[in-house]
Amino acid sequence: MMTNGKPYILVVEDDAPVRNLITTTLESQNYKYMAAANGNQAVMSAASGSPDIILMDLGLPDMDGVDVIKKIRTWSVAPIIVISARSDDHDKVDALDAGADDYLTKPFSVEELLARLRSTLRRVQYLMQKDEGNASIFHNGELTIDYGAGTVSIGDHEIHLMPLEYSLLCLLAKNVGKVLTYQFILDKVWVNAIESDRSSLRVYMASLRKKIEKDKNHPQYIQTHIGVGYRMIRIS
């Protein structure tokens, strides 16, 4: 559990040198952590240790990391940052659809790993803040965002969004009708944005659209402005 503003982190990595690099990095920043070397250990550790953030490798010896994410997501909403050598967009989308919140491709730098952790922690803390006095509800067509409750619905059906997807949707909603540039979105949502995050933004936006759009080929809510950014369309 989080202490002194520092999250308790579960590291899931079967490669000992990589696992040692990650845990040594966490120790240097005074993060508390536990480690698992395979999928079964990861599920048990996530259930018993209640980590605040999970760092997850996909290429585990006993089961695929995507399946581990799905298992953990049946009871936990702890942010999951995938750290994997799989760089194909299809693999990223599969991980995000399973419930991952962020995706870091190997090889990675220690600085980027720490930046991702800080960014994830800030998003979690932001979403946990309760300001009932400013709570309001956004409606656009069948889309409803209840900012106070932190929920999103399409019609009568509530949909589950990961923290970063929710932050993206809220940013677009609060600027409905306006084209938001890639860099503006990265600066607002990623907090510690770097150039390589632009490709990740496209992946997250695709995942968000899959959840809120009825027809992905004819998007109703989120419009892409190629080379510029994205805009939420106002539906009369």
pLDDT in tens, 51-67: 889 999 999 999 999 99
pLDDT in tens, 128-139: 554 434 458 889
Going by C-alpha positions, the residue among 87, 74, 75, 31 that lies closest to residue 55 is 31
Q: In the sheet where 137-140 sits, what is the strand order?
A: 137-140, 143-146, 151-154, 157-159
Left (φ > 0), alpha (ψ -120 to 50) or beta: where does 34 sit? beta
CB 192 within 8 Å of CB 164: no
Which residues are CB-contacts of 232 (< 8 A; sequence separation ≥ 6)? 140, 172, 173, 175, 176, 177, 221, 222, 223
- Residue 193: per-residue pLDDT: 53
- Residue 202: per-residue pLDDT: 87
Domain at 8-128: CATH architecture:
3-Layer(aba) Sandwich (3.40)
- Residue 62: per-residue pLDDT: 94
Break the chain into its structural domains and give their ranges: 8-128, 137-232
3-state DSSP assignment of residue 84: strand
- Residue 119: per-residue pLDDT: 83
pTM of whole model > 0.85?
A: no
CATH class of 137-232: mainly alpha
Residue segments in the chain with a per-residue pLDDT below the cut of 70: 1-5, 125-135, 191-196, 236
